[in-house]
Amino acid sequence: MLFELFNLAGIELKNRLVRSATYEKRADVDGFVTDALIEFYKELAKGGVGLIITGNALVHISGRSVPQMICIHNDYYIDKLKRLTEAVHKLDGKIVIQLVHGGRQCFPALLGGLQPIAPSEIHDPSIKITPREMTNEEIWEVIEAFGDAARRAMYAGFDGVQIHGAHGYLVSEFLSPHTNRRNDYWGGDEERRFHFLEEVYKAMRKEVGDNYPILIKINADDFIESGLKPEESVRIAKRLEELGIDAIEVSGGMYESAPKTAQPNILQTEQEAYFRENSRLFKKTLNIPVILVGGIRSKSVAEDILQKGDADLISISRPLIREPDLPNKFKEGKEKADCISCNGCMRFQKLDMVKCTQINKS
């Protein structure tokens, strides 16, 4: 099943393997696409993955969470983004751009010294940052920014967009009772915590029309006692399906619940697919495609997930940093990725660009 064709909201995929959004640190300091970034994605396209989802792209200057991330918050980024999509399409690849606002998970140094913004003033102990609560005007400004970013993505030739609604960034923060303590239209109960994402989706759909694919990545579980739990996440997913979202990627965790977001030392097949149980719950509830990410390293595990109906697509991240041609290798008979889940590639502060730190040691 892994190498069957799949139609994802009109995007014709040559297989069911997805490159999950992964920060690259290859844009320039102003967020423009570089030759290095294009070459990075060309290697992924040549490597045979069915769908590429880019690293997180910035929709508003108040949400920059990492240096040298792709930017899409202004029209002047469109031309170089178009160079990226054209390069991938020439290699018969499909590419979706992930749209993000970092929320409270931003360092002031990346915001010109300004305090990060968030739904509520909830301290993040993992990075020792306390954000400022957003005003109603700021909330609507960011919602509009998501819509504008989706329009730019469509003009730049991306096959679709993905809302980053996971891992404790701004959309995730509005959804989570841990980070959203408001008592207004934007928070106070489950329904009101959904309003921000609902308005983001509506703003994007208004800009791109009914037929342009909009995907989302969301947490099944925040892995924090006062955070989002799978039962509520599934209800959120059902609301999104009713609104018209085209597919949902199931993940989990945020900065302060690490290492749940990218678990280390996945060496046995029993350790793989650590969000599989959650994905199964989503599949039982939804009719739209469910994409499963999280520690999938073996072809046999991926095939078993698909055959048992626990997901429709298999999303991988760290293994493709080490082996961008892993899908082709799977097709040729390779059973398991070389990635040892050491998380060296995640320590991007010490790297000139995100890359496998073990590749020359083996």
DSSP letter for 220, please: E
Q: Which residue has the tokens 């300091």?
A: 29
CB 72 within 8 Å of CB 149: yes
Annotated catalytic residue 155:
no
**Would you list the DSSP string of 79-137?**
HHHHHHHHHHHHTT--EEEEEE--TTS--GGGGTTPPPEESS---BTTTTB-PEEPPHH
Q: Which of 41, 169, 201, 212 is catalytic?
A: 169
| Residue type (1 letter), 306 | L
- Residue 115 CB contacts under 8 Å (≥ 6 apart), including other chains: 108, 130, 131, 132
Alpha helix (H) ranges present in 188-229? 190-193, 195-208
Measured CA to CA, the distance from residue 93 to residue 90 in angstroms comes to: 7
Q: Which residue has the tokens 């102990």?
A: 125
Q: Give the number of other Cβ atoms within 10 Å of residue 292's Cβ.
A: 29
The catalytic site residues sit at 169
